[in-house]
Amino acid sequence: MRLDVIDIMKSYDNAPLLRGVTFGVDAGETICLLGRSGSGKSTLLRIIAGLEEAEGGTVLWEGADISNLPVHRREFGLMFQDFALFPHMSVDQNVSFGLRMQNQSEDRINERIREMLDLVHMRDFASRRVTDLSGGEQQRIALARALAPRPKLLMLDEPLGALDRTLKQTLLDDLRQIIHSANIPVIYVTHDQEEAFSIADRLILLNSGQIEQIGTPEDIYRNPKTLWAAKFMGLGNILPGKVISTSPLIASTVFGDIPLSRHKPDVSLNKTVNLLLLPAVDGLLVQSKKVTSENGLDNVQLTGTVDESIFLEGKFRSTIQAGETTLSFLTGTRFSPGEKVVISYPVGEIRCL
């Protein structure tokens, strides 16, 4: 099972909304469309589902063009942020809705209801009205209803967007397991980077209706291709610099001169560059004195002044300034505001954007 969208075009109020979007998703794979509000994510889902028409491009299923196929004949599942459950129906009636539309037998419907409610850990809630359920419980029922008719492909549009942070974290692990157990192509839309990293096999970054980058969560985190991608993913630590030597390649910054082992092919003398330093990498050390590189890593020594150190999930997020530029790193030590520190950073981990 495979879905391909090829060169999808769509405009809204005479302004481009989707501009040549192309990607594919295979069985058992979860693709996450990640982008700001208004980037065209939900519109793209509706085009794939057949609820909207593209102004250009093609939607293929197993290599066949389904661009003009009616919604019900595509047999795709779509789950919305507000869940769109029927408030006048019980849990089991909601879950069985798609099955009844398929004219399945009553025995088969009841069997499938039990299977789906077991899958989402809600079997004891079958007779309850959905209006009596919590937000997290409604989310599970909406997922069960979407999966019950055995869709060829599942699309989820901000499925956790209406939930608070604590509940969202609780549901993410279960949601990932349920999605993977279905073994069908899944397209998941969100604007939340942490949620996307938790759920996706691959990420598609949408920027103003165009694909900025496609890759695994780890690849995009470690190797953002553009300045926009790095900023949008919240990677921080964008350090402006100026190339002062091309052989070897060195950039001058307010934190000191930085040798570069990774760079764009168009880097030239006196060119302004943006350097990405991830907040946590192997070999990173922040201390109040100069440090020696460990594990054979070639590190650059940068100096700055601590603005603050805040405890965060077992480590300290230390914000360090030099001039008007601020960098943030995860450290094992709390530093005092105003303290002078040396950042020992692996040269091989510095990205030139």
What architecture does CATH give domain 238-352?
Answer: Beta Barrel (2.40)
**113-125 average pLDDT score:** 89
pLDDT at 67: 94
CATH of 2-228, one of 3.40.50.11540, 2.60.120.10, 2.160.10.10, 3.40.50.300: 3.40.50.300
**54-79 average pLDDT score:** 94
**329-341 average pLDDT score:** 91
Residue 296 reports pLDDT greater than 50: no
Contact 70, 28 (CB under 8 A): no
Residue 204 β-bridge partners? 33, 214
Which parts of the chain are beta strand (E)? 2-12, 15-26, 30-34, 56-61, 64-65, 76-79, 153-157, 186-190, 202-207, 210-215, 238-246, 249-253, 256-259, 272-276, 285-287, 299-312, 315-322, 325-331, 340-346, 351-352
Entry pTM: 0.84
Q: Which residues lie closer than 8 Å to 160 by C-beta, 6 or more apart?
A: 139, 168, 171, 172, 175, 190, 192, 195
Domain residue limits, the chain? 2-228, 238-352
Q: pLDDT-derived band of residue 66, with 50, 70 and 90 as boundaries?
A: very high
pLDDT at 248: 85
| Poorest-pLDDT segment among 210-214, 265-269, 321-325 | 265-269
Residue 94, Ramachandran bin (φ over 0: left; ψ between -120 and 50: alpha; else beta): alpha
Q: pLDDT-derived band of residue 11, with 50, 70 and 90 as boundaries?
A: very high
How much of the chain, in percent, has pLDDT values that exceed 90?
47
Residue 82 reports pLDDT greater than 80: no
What three-state secondary structure class fits 137? helix
Residue 297 reports pLDDT greater than 90: no
pLDDT at 206: 94
pLDDT at 241: 92
**142-160 average pLDDT score:** 89
**214-229 average pLDDT score:** 92
Q: pLDDT-derived band of residue 263, with 50, 70 and 90 as boundaries?
A: low
Residue 291 reports pLDDT greater than 70: no
pLDDT at 162: 63
Among positive and negative, which fits the CA dihedral 70, 74, 80, 85? positive
Q: pLDDT-derived band of residue 200, with 50, 70 and 90 as boundaries?
A: very high
The tokens describing 2, both together, are 């495979």
What whole-number distance in Å separates Cα of residue 29 and Cα of residue 26? 5
Q: pLDDT-derived band of residue 31, with 50, 70 and 90 as boundaries?
A: very high
Residue 295 reports pLDDT greater than 50: no
Q: Are domains 2-228 and 238-352 of this chain identical in fold?
A: no
pLDDT tens-digit map of 87-102 = 999 999 999 998 998 8
pLDDT at 204: 96
**59-81 average pLDDT score:** 92
pLDDT at 135: 82
